[in-house]
Amino acid sequence: MPSLSVNIDHVATLRQARLESFPDPVQAATAVELGGADGITVHLRNDRRHITNRDVELLRATVKTELTVEMAGTEELVRLIARVRPDQVTLVPELRSEVTTTSGIDLLRERRKLEPVVQRLKKAGIRVSMFIEPDTAQVEAAGVLGADVVELNTDRYSRGWTRKPALLDELVRASGAAGAAGVAVHVGHGLDYRNVVPILQKRVAAGYSIGFSIVARAVFVGLKDAVAEMRRIMEVYSCERC
10, 33, 43, 133: the catalytic one is 43
10, 33, 50, 70: the catalytic one is 70
Examine residue 232 and state whether it is found in any structural domain, yes or no. Answer: no
Examine residue 196 and state whether it is found in any structural domain, yes or no. Answer: yes
Examine residue 204 and state whether it is found in any structural domain, yes or no. Answer: yes
Q: What is the pLDDT of residue 239?
A: 75
Our answer to whether residue 110 is catalytic in this structure is no
Our answer to whether residue 140 is catalytic in this structure is no
Examine residue 242 and state whether it is found in any structural domain, yes or no. Answer: no
Which tens digit of pLDDT belongs to each residue from 89-136? 999 998 666 656 678 999 999 999 999 999 999 999 999 999 999 999
Our answer to whether residue 50 is catalytic in this structure is no
Examine residue 169 and state whether it is found in any structural domain, yes or no. Answer: yes
Q: What is the pLDDT of residue 96?
A: 67
Q: What is the pLDDT of residue 99?
A: 58
Q: What is the pLDDT of residue 98?
A: 62
| Residues of the chain below pLDDT 70 | 95-101, 240-242
SS3 of the chain: the string is CCEEEEECHHHHHHHHHCCCCCCCHHHHHHHHHHCCCCEEEEECCCCCCCCCHHHHHHHHHHCCCEEEEEECCCHHHHHHHHHHCCCEEEECCCCCCCCCCCCCCCHHHHHHHHHHHHHHHHHCCCEEEEEECCCHHHHHHHHHHCCCEEEEECHHHHHHCCCCCHHHHHHHHHHHHHHHHCCEEEEECCCCCCCHHHHHHCCCCCEEEECHHHHHHHHHHCHHHHHHHHHHHHHHHCCCCC
**Domains: count for the chain:** 1
Examine residue 16 and state whether it is found in any structural domain, yes or no. Answer: yes
Domain with residue 62: its CATH number is: 3.20.20.70
Q: What is the pLDDT of residue 152?
A: 98
Q: What is the pLDDT of residue 103?
A: 81
Structural domain of 39 = 3-226
Examine residue 191 and state whether it is found in any structural domain, yes or no. Answer: yes
